[in-house]
Amino acid sequence: MDIEVIKPGLLTTIQDLGRPGYYHLGIPISGAMDRHALRAANLLVGNDEGDAALEAVFTGPELTFTDHRIIAVTGADLPPKVDGESRPTWAAFEVEPGQTLSFGFLKRGARAYIAISGGFEVPLLLGSRSTYVHGQFGGLDGRPLKSGDRLPAGARKRQSGSRLRVADEMRRTMPADVVLRVLPGLYNHRLTPVAEQRFYDDTWAVAPDADRVGYRFRGGSPLEFKAREQPFGAGADPSNIVDACYPYGSIQVPAGTEPIVLHRDAVSGGGYFTLGTVIAADMDLIGQLQPHQKIRFAPVDMPTALAARRHEADRLDRLRRGYG
């Protein structure tokens, strides 16, 4: 059955867990910016954890349903309503044929995930239903939703309680002081020691143009580079290198002024040096940062990064045991 889009919201796209395996060909992994929230929403409504859901940025869509569905909204605190009556976030609730799902004002976070029982059955492309807007493929015609769209919904896979709720300890909360942990490299040797230390000491703010390609930060000190003769193939600016691959989460700093953390729709390579990579455990958190949010970067070593990844994996296992 189809779901009619009455209002699309500011930027609402269909996302799943992405299409890994093609990054070396220049195709980004895409998928949900907050994968834990997408998984939780799907498990609440009885879907497989990687099924396609809606990712809504800052404002929610308005949707009218033609059949009975279980709904869950997770991630950002974007209050859902059914025919104008409030429903909880991080919990399953029902909608009946003819009812309309809408949203109140955003209270916290940046991206909400809206899962429906059965998921959204747009065509698979390279193993994923995720929308890659810059490439104009995936999702619904490779673009954000617009008014009048009809979203194809799949068949319900398994029973799910309509009153299930994710416990607080299994949700990601936004800390008062946001610290993004960084594994230094691959080109941090290009910086003076003073400049590298200052990068971690400074407080940065999310820039208004942060998006799925990269989160840009402002407000810190410009970087200072060690003097060198630029090699053949690199540009004249000291932040340029001979083109190289970019890991997911890597931090490039064009002109040495504003760091950009490359995210789900990022390019896979280019000619800017990277001073480090945000660890995998903190990438979902970036997806929930609003413009002007203050953050700091903190260097960590590999054992710390791996321990943080295990912690996130344990939390996901508890979520699967509780709701899968």
Residue matched to tokens 């020691």? 193
Helices (H), the chain: 35-44, 193-201, 283-286, 302-323
Range 137-161 average pLDDT: 91
Is the model's pLDDT at 176 over the cut of 90?
A: no
Q: What is the pLDDT of residue 228?
A: 87
Q: Are 40 and 114 in contact (CB under 8 A)?
A: no
Range 76-95 average pLDDT: 97
Q: Which residues contact 183 (CB under 8 A, 6 or more apart)?
A: 276, 277, 279, 299, 300, 301, 302, 305
Q: What is the pLDDT of residue 221?
A: 96
Instruction: Please tell me whether residue 201 adopts helix, strand or coil conformation.
Output: helix
Q: Which two tokens stand for residue 258?
A: 């504003």
Q: What is the pLDDT of residue 163?
A: 61
The CA-to-CA distance between both ends of the chain, in Å, stands at: 24
Q: What is the pLDDT of residue 229?
A: 86
Is the model's pLDDT at 19 over the cut of 90?
A: yes
Is the model's pLDDT at 159 over the cut of 90?
A: no
| 154 phi and psi angles, rounded to 5 deg | -85, 175
Is the model's pLDDT at 90 over the cut of 90?
A: yes
Partners of 180 in the β-ladder: 297
User: What is the overall mean pLDDT for the chain?
Assistant: 94
What does the alpha-carbon distance between residue 264 and residue 203 come to, in Å, rounded to a whole number?
A: 24
Is the model's pLDDT at 69 over the cut of 70?
A: yes
Per-residue confidence at 322, pLDDT binned at 50, 70, 90? confident
Sign of the dihedral defined by the CA atoms of residues 271, 276, 280, 283, in that order: negative
Single pTM value for the model: 0.95
Q: pLDDT above 90 covers what percent of the chain?
A: 84
Comparing 105-114, 161-170, 195-204, 230-239, which segment has the lowest mean pLDDT? 161-170
Query: Quick one: which of 140, 142, 128 has its CA closest to 19?
Result: 128
What does the alpha-carbon distance between residue 318 and residue 24 come to, in Å, rounded to a whole number?
A: 33
